[in-house]
C-alpha cells in the first residue's frame, strides 16, 4: 500500500501511521505524568515533614496540588488510554490498515501537544499556574487575586483545556468511526476484543462529556477575561463589595461534574478492557461472560452520565436530588461487580502465568476492588457528608482511578511491548517494578482511609492548627511520604527497562504470549505502515479461544478458520 519512500520527518515526526501516533501520545503523556509525579513529591514532602523543607509555601502548595490533579487526570490518563492505547490497538485489533482519518489522527496528536505546551507555559508566567484546585470552582477561580495564579495561570489553564478538548474530539471521532466502520471481514462487533470495546465506549463518552467542560471552561474564561458574571454572585472581597453580581457558582459545578464523572469512566473503561486482555491471555482461559462484560461496559457508561451530582452532596442540594444521585451511584456498583466477578472467574482454575503483565492484571483487580468498595460510603449522602473533603476521598479516588488505571496501563505497556518494539523487556526488572509499585501504592493510599476517618482534611498545607487530630496522624503522614518517594523513584525502573529493552532487549517472537487477537498475527513484527502486508486478515471466531478442548494448542487465533480439528470454544457458541 504505502511503498513510496518516506523521509525521517514523515515517518517518525509528522507521521500519519496510527502506531507512530500512538507512541508519540504515550511518550508525551508519560513525560507529563513524570512531571506530575514530581509535583506530588513536593506535596508529600511538605505534608510528611512540615517546616523541615521550604520547597513550598501555602500559595505554591495550592498551585502544585492543582497542577498535579489536572495533569494526572487529563493530560496523562485520558491521553495515554485513548490517544496511546486507542491509537495502537484499535486498527490492529479489528484488522484495519489504519484509522479512518489518518490526517485528522495526526492533527489530534499535535493539538494535544499544543495543549500540553500551553499547560506548561503557565509555570513560566508571572504569578505561576493556577492554584484554584483541580476542579477550578468559581468564585475562587473567577476572581482576580483570590487564588494564587489567578491572572495568567487560570487563563492558560482554561485555554489549554479547550485545546485539549479539540484534540480529544478529533481523536474520539476517529476512534468511534474506525471501530464502527472499518472492521475487517468477519470481525463483527461481538467478536471484538474487550480492549476495543472499552476504548470505543470511552470514546463515545468523551464525545458526550467533554462538551460540558468546554462550555464551563469557555464561560469561566469569559468571567476571567471579559469580566462577565456567569459564576460570580455578589461577593465581598477584602471588605469590598465587588461590582459584579447575579452569577451562579453552582452552575459551574454542574457543568464540571457532568464532564468530571463520565471522565472517571473514560479512564476506567479502557483500563477495564486492557485488564480483561491481560487476565484472559495470561491465565489461558476464555474471558468469563464476554457478553456480560460488554453489557456491563455499556451500562456503566450510560449510568455514568446520571451520577455527577454525587460530587456535590456538600455543595447543597434538594434532598430528593441527593437521594436520586445516591441511588444511581450505588446502582453502578452492580455492573462493576459483574466485571470483577468475571475477572475472578476467568482466573479460577486457569493455567496462570505469573509474568509481569499478569501481575499488573491481578494488581488491577485488587486496587479496583479496594478503591471501588471505598466509593460506596462516599456515594451515600449521609456517609459522604462527614467524609467529604478528608483524606478518605483522596485515598478512594487515587486507588480506583489513579493506581488501578496505572496498573492496567503498566500491564498493557509490558504486554504489547514485544509487538511495538519487536523486543522483549527485562522480566526481572518488570517484576521488581510491579512489587514496589503495588505494595508501595497500598502503603501510600491505605493509611489515607484512616486519616480521613480521623478527620484529617484534604487540601491543607499543614495541620498544626488542628488541635483535635491525634498525634498518630503525623506518623502516618511520614509513612505515606516515605512510601511515595520510593514508589515514585521505582518508576525509573520502568522507564529504564523500556528504554534499554527497546534498544538492547532480546528479539521477541511475533506472538510471544500465544495470544488469539489479531494484533499478534501480523506478518511482520513490529507491524509496518499499513499493518497487514498484501491482504487484511479474515476473522472466523471470537477473541478468546483459549484452551479449547480437543484443539492442538491452548490458543486459536481469530483468523484461523473453523474446521472439525480446530473447533470453536464452548463459551463462544
Partner 1 sequence: MAQSLEERVRAMPRWLRDLVADWSSDQQTFKVNWGKAMMWFFIVSDMFVFGAFLSAYAAARLGATLPWPDPAKVFALHIGESEIPLLLIAIMTVVLISSSGTMAIAVKYGYERNRAKAALFLALTALLGLTFVGMQAFEWTKLIREGFRPWTNPLGAPQFGSSFFMITGFHGLHVTAGVIYLITIASQVLRGAYEKIGYQRVEIAGLYWHFVDLVWVFIFAFFYLF
**Which CB atom, from 130 or from 169, has the smaller least distance to partner 1?**
169
Is the distance from CB of 74 to CB of 161 less than 8 angstroms?
A: yes
Distance CA 11, CA 31 (A): 22
| Least distance in angstroms from the C-beta of 235 to partner 1 | 12
Is the distance from CB of 171 to CB of 78 less than 8 angstroms?
A: no
| Least distance in angstroms from the C-beta of 233 to partner 1 | 8
**Which CB atom, from 230 or from 494, has the smaller least distance to partner 1?**
230
Distance CA 13, CA 65 (A): 33
| Least distance in angstroms from the C-beta of 203 to partner 1 | 9
**Which CB atom, from 50 or from 186, has the smaller least distance to partner 1?**
186
| Least distance in angstroms from the C-beta of 192 to partner 1 | 10
Q: Which helix (H) or strand (E) holds 240?
A: strand 240-241
Half-sphere exposure in the Cβ direction for 123 (13 Å, CA): 12
**Which CB atom, from 58 or from 144, has the smaller least distance to partner 1?**
144
| Least distance in angstroms from the C-beta of 247 to partner 1 | 7
Is the distance from CB of 106 to CB of 165 less than 8 angstroms?
A: no
Long-range CB contacts (within 8 A, 24+) of 392-396: 392/448, 392/449, 392/451, 392/452, 392/453, 393/452, 393/458, 394/445, 394/448, 394/452, 394/458, 395/445, 395/446, 395/447, 395/448, 395/449, 395/451, 395/452, 396/371, 396/449
**Which CB atom, from 178 or from 481, has the smaller least distance to partner 1?**
178
**Which CB atom, from 104 or from 424, has the smaller least distance to partner 1?**
104
Is the distance from CB of 432 to CB of 410 less than 8 angstroms?
A: no
In angstroms, how far is the first alpha carbon of the chain from the final one? 36
**Which CB atom, from 193 or from 350, has the smaller least distance to partner 1?**
193
Distance CA 123, CA 194 (A): 39
**Which CB atom, from 292 or from 432, has the smaller least distance to partner 1?**
292
| Least distance in angstroms from the C-beta of 207 to partner 1 | 4
Helix (H, G, I), strand (E, B) or coil at 285: coil
Give the torsion sign (CA, 169, 170, 171, 174). Answer: positive
**Which CB atom, from 254 or from 285, has the smaller least distance to partner 1?**
254
**Which CB atom, from 61 or from 544, has the smaller least distance to partner 1?**
544
**Which CB atom, from 251 or from 453, has the smaller least distance to partner 1?**
251
> Who's near 58: CB < 8 A, 6+ residues apart?
461
Residues engaged in binding partner 1 (CB under 8 A): 100-101, 169, 172-174, 176-177, 180-191, 207-208, 210-212, 214-216, 218-219, 222, 226-230, 234, 244-248, 251, 254-255, 258, 539
| Least distance in angstroms from the C-beta of 208 to partner 1 | 6
**Which CB atom, from 235 or from 275, has the smaller least distance to partner 1?**
235
| Least distance in angstroms from the C-beta of 188 to partner 1 | 5
Is the distance from CB of 245 to CB of 228 less than 8 angstroms?
A: no
Distance CA 191, CA 294 (A): 11
**Which CB atom, from 13 or from 180, has the smaller least distance to partner 1?**
180
In Å, how far from its chain's centre is CA 422?
Answer: 26
| Least distance in angstroms from the C-beta of 409 to partner 1 | 26
Question: What is the torsion angle, in degrees rounded to the nearest 10, for the CA atoms of residue 104, residue 305, residue 300 and residue 371?
Answer: 100
For 527, list phi and psi in degrees, rounded to 5: -65, 140
Question: Which residue, among 491, 488, 393, 402, has the nearest Cα to 42 in the 3D structure?
Answer: 488
DSSP readout, 330-387? HHTHHHHHHHHHHHHHHHTT------HHHHHHHHHHHHHHHHHHTHHHHHSHHHHHHH
| Least distance in angstroms from the C-beta of 194 to partner 1 | 17
| Least distance in angstroms from the C-beta of 259 to partner 1 | 9
Distance CA 364, CA 403 (A): 8
| Least distance in angstroms from the C-beta of 38 to partner 1 | 35
- What one-character DSSP code corresponds to residue 237? E
Q: Which residues pair with 240 in a beta bridge?
A: 237
| Least distance in angstroms from the C-beta of 73 to partner 1 | 20
> Who's near 539: CB < 8 A, 6+ residues apart?
95, 184, 185, 186, 187, 191, 518, 558, 559
Amino acid at each position: 500500500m504505502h511503498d513510496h519512500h518516506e523521509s525521517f520527518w514523515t515517518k517518525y515526526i509528522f507521521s500519519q501511521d496510527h502506531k507512530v501516533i500512538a507512541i508519540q501520545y504515550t511518550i508525551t503523556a508519560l513525560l507529563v505524568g513524570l512531571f506530575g509525579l514530581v509535583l506530588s513529591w513536593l506535596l508529600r514532602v511538605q505534608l510528611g515533614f512540615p517546616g523541615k523543607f521550604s520547597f513550598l509555601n501555602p500559595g505554591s502548595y495550592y498551585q502544585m496540588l492543582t497542577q498535579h490533579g489536572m495533569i494526572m487526570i487529563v493530560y496523562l490518563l485520558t491521553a495515554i488510554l485513548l490517544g496511546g492505547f486507542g491509537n495502537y490497538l484499535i486498527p490492529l485489533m479489528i484488522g484495519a490498515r489504519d484509522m479512518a482519518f489518518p490526517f485528522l489522527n495526526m492533527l489530534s496528536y499535535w493539538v494535544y501537544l499544543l495543549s500540553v505546551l500551553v499547560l506548561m507555559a503557565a509555570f513560566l508566567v508571572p504569578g505561576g499556574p493556577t492554584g484554584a484546585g483541580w476542579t477550578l470552582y468559581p468564585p475562587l477561580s473567577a476572581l482576580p487575586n483570590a487564588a494564587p495564579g489567578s491572572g495568567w495561570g487560570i487563563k492558560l489553564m482554561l485555554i489549554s483545556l479547550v485545546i485539549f478538548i479539540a484534540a480529544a474530539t478529533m481523536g474520539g471521532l476517529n476512534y468511534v468511526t474506525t471501530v464502527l466502520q472499518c472492521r475487517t471481514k468477519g470481525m463483527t462487533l461481538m467478536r471484538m476484543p474487550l480492549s476495543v470495546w472499552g476504548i470505543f465506549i470511552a470514546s463515545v463518552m468523551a464525545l458526550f462529556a467533554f462538551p460540558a467542560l468546554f462550555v464551563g471552561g469557555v464561560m469561566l474564561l469569559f468571567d476571567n477575561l471579559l469580566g462577565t458574571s456567569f459564576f460570580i454572585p455578589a461577593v465581598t472581597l477584602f471588605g469590598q463589595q465587588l461590582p459584579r453580581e447575579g452569577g451562579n457558582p453552582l452552575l459551574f459545578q454542574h457543568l464540571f461534574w457532568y464532564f468530571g464523572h463520565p471522565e472517571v469512566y473514560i479512564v476506567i473503561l479502557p483500563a477495564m478492557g486492557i485488564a480483561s486482555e491481560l487476565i484472559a491471555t495470561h491465565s489461558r482461559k476464555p474471558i468469563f461472560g464476554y457478553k456480560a462484560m460488554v453489557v456491563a461496559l455499556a451500562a456503566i457508561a450510560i449510568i455514568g452520565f446520571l451520577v455527577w451530582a454525587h460530587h456535590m452532596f456538600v455543595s447543597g442540594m434538594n434532598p430528593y436530588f441527593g437521594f436520586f444521585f445516591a441511588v444511581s451511584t450505588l446502582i453502578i456498583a452492580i455492573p462493576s461487580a459483574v466485571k470483577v466477578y468475571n475477572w475472578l472467574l476467568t482466573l479460577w482454575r486457569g493455567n496462570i502465568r505469573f509474568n509481569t503483565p499478569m501481575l499488573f492484571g491481578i494488581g488491577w483487580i485488587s486496587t479496583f476492588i479496594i478503591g471501588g468498595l471505598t466509593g460506596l460510603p462516599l456515594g451515600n449522602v449521609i456517609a459522604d457528608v462527614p467524609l467529604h473533603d478528608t483524606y478518605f476521598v483522596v485515598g478512594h479516588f487515587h486507588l480506583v482511578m489513579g493506581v488501578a488505571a496505572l496498573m492496567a496501563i503498566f500491564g498493557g505497556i509490558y504486554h504489547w511491548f514485544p509487538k511495538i518494539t519487536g523486543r522483549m523487556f527485562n522480566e526481572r526488572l518488570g517484576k521488581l517494578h510491579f512489587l514496589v509499585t503495588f505494595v508501595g501504592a497500598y502503603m501510600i493510599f491505605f493509611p489515607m482511609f484512616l486519616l480521613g476517618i480521623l478527620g484529617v482534611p484534604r487540601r491543607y498545607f499543614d495541620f498544626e492548627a488542628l488541635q483535635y487530630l491525634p498525634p498518630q496522624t503525623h506518623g502516618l503522614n511520614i509513612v505515606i511520604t516515605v512510601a511515595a518517594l520510593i514508589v515514585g523513584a521505582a518508576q525509573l525502573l520502568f522507564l529504564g527497562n523500556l528504554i534499554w529493552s527497546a534498544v538492547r532487549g532480546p528479539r521477541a517472537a511475533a506472538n510471544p504470549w500465544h495470544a488469539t487477537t489479531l494484533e499478534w498475527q501480523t506478518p511482520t513484527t513490529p507491524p509496518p505502515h499499513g499493518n497487514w502486508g498484501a491482504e487484511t486478515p479474515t476473522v472466523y471466531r471470537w477473541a478468546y479461544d483459549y484452551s479449547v478442548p480437543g484443539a492442538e494448542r491452548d490458543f486459536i487465533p481469530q483468523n484461523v478458520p473453523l474446521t472439525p480439528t480446530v473447533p470453536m470454544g464452548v463459551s463462544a457458541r
